[in-house]
Amino acid sequence: MTTPEIKEAVEFEDIFLQDKIERRAYEQREKAIRDYYSYMSVFRRITTRSISASYTNCKKYAKR
């Protein structure tokens, strides 16, 4: 596990973590991605419930 590529990646990470501006930008990008997936998950649940409720109402009115 001491290949040159891994050593280079670890060195890059050490330098990256010391740069506060780059680290903050990275954290903000990661937060935006997490927020996006969270919002999409909620949207899917709301949409599914809405479609299900509409379908139930349609069935109820169709029986009349």
Query: What is the tens place of the pLDDT at every residue in 13-41?
Result: 888 888 899 889 989 999 999 999 999 98
Side-chain half-sphere CA neighbours of 44 within 13 A: 6
Gap between the Cα atoms of 9 and 3, Å rounded: 10
**Tell me, what's the pLDDT at 60?**
61
DSSP state of 20: H
DSSP assignment of 34-49: HHHHHHHHHHHHHHHH
Query: Whole-prediction pTM value?
Result: 0.52
Helix (H, G, I), strand (E, B) or coil at 2: coil
Gap between the Cα atoms of 17 and 24, Å rounded: 10
